[in-house]
Amino acid sequence: MNERLNPSDLAYFRRGETENPRFWRRFGGQPDFRGASVLDVGCGHGSMSIYLAEQGAAEVVGLDLNERLIEFANANLEQNFPHFADRVAFLCLDLKDYPLEPFDYIVSKDTFEHVLDLPGLLEEMSRRLRAGGRVYAGFGPLYNSPFGDHNVVRPPFPIPWAHLLLGDQRVIRRVNRRRREKVSAIQDLGMNRLALADYRRIFEECDLEVVSFQTNRSDKLSGKTLHALSKLPRLEEYFTFNIYCVLEKT
């Protein structure tokens, strides 16, 4: 076995076998990717990119800022999916630095909640879409939802909204006790802290048309319960845990 393909990375990659079809079910179905060009923004280990190739995409480019994950994705492609080598490429690159090549689709899974300049990212996506091309983005948990800290606080046992109850400064002090490189803001931990209203405004103001905007997409009973509670007055912000949206370049 290639030493770069450690078991934990492979196990995480293989979670895509169940997570990728679930991702598309939450949109109500997936596009026909046969012969399409697709840009996968925030590709991580590369599971979605490989899935898109398996669905018949003619070209898939996966971008991520994490060099270690891109190294794994390329090694995994070379070792386990050599038949996709002419159709799939993984690059450690910011989208704004990628050439202005037009794509039919842009896909982003569990990335938007980490992007600090989301309007800027959407602008860059628009510049790399063909007319009529679409962005499919599904992401969460949102910061103000029960576990929106992405397990950063890590109390002795999971406590919903612990990060909100503690407040930013106490969360930062707790995190810094465990880190060599200290942080001074929640955004330094890779979370943009955007509220649900912020996402709605950003999508409405970007130069892509909002085709679909859905929240609390889940097959689990816990997710459906949170969705029901989000309908109560003034509770939507704290019980909305994910967003699945489709944007189109008109």
Check pLDDT > 80 for residue 156. no
A 10 A CB-CB count for 4 gives 14
Tell me: do 125 and 203 sit in the same domain.
yes
Residue 126 domain flag: yes
pLDDT-above-70 percentage for the chain: 98
Beta strands across the sheet bearing 88-92: 88-92, 59-64, 37-41, 103-109, 129-139, 243-248, 209-215
Q: What is the mean pLDDT of the chain?
A: 95
pLDDT in tens, 175-219: 999 999 999 999 999 999 999 999 999 999 999 999 999 999 998
Give the pairing type, strands 37-41 and 103-109.
Answer: parallel
Tell me: do 57 and 134 sit in the same domain.
yes
Two structure tokens written together for 184: 């001074």
Q: How confident is the model at residue 3 (pLDDT cuts 50, 70, 90)?
A: low
In angstroms, the CA 83 to CA 111 distance is 28
Domain of residue 163 covers 149-189
How many Cα atoms within 13 Å fall on the side-chain side of residue 229?
A: 14
DSSP E strand stretches across the chain? 37-41, 59-64, 88-92, 103-109, 129-139, 209-215, 243-248
Owner of token pair 């997409």: 217
Tell me: do 201 and 169 sit in the same domain.
no
Owner of token pair 């091309």: 133
Check pLDDT > 70 for residue 1. no
Give the per-residue pLDDT at 116. 97
Find the mean pLDDT for residues 128-142. 98
Query: Any idea of the CA torsion for 175, 181, 186, 189, to the nearest 10 degrees?
Result: -90
Question: Residues of 209-246 as b/e, b for ≥16 C-beta within 10 angstroms?
Answer: eeeeeebbbbeeeebeebbeebeeeeebebbbbbbbbb
Evaluate whether 58 touches 87 at the Cβ level (below 8 Å): yes
Tell me: do 155 and 79 sit in the same domain.
no
Check pLDDT > 50 for residue 2. no
Q: Indicate the number of domains in the chain.
A: 2
Evaluate whether 130 touches 102 at the Cβ level (below 8 Å): yes
Residue 181 domain flag: yes
The size of the chain, in residues, is: 250
pLDDT in tens, 45-64: 999 999 999 999 999 999 99
Tell me: do 49 and 136 sit in the same domain.
yes
Q: How confident is the model at residue 4 (pLDDT cuts 50, 70, 90)?
A: low
Tell me: do 98 and 43 sit in the same domain.
yes
Residue 63 domain flag: yes
Residue 1 domain flag: no
Give the per-residue pLDDT at 108. 98
pLDDT in tens, 73-130: 999 999 999 999 999 999 999 999 999 999 999 999 999 999 999 999 999 999 999 9
Owner of token pair 């400064």: 169
DSSP 232: S
In angstroms, the CA 248 to CA 77 distance is 30
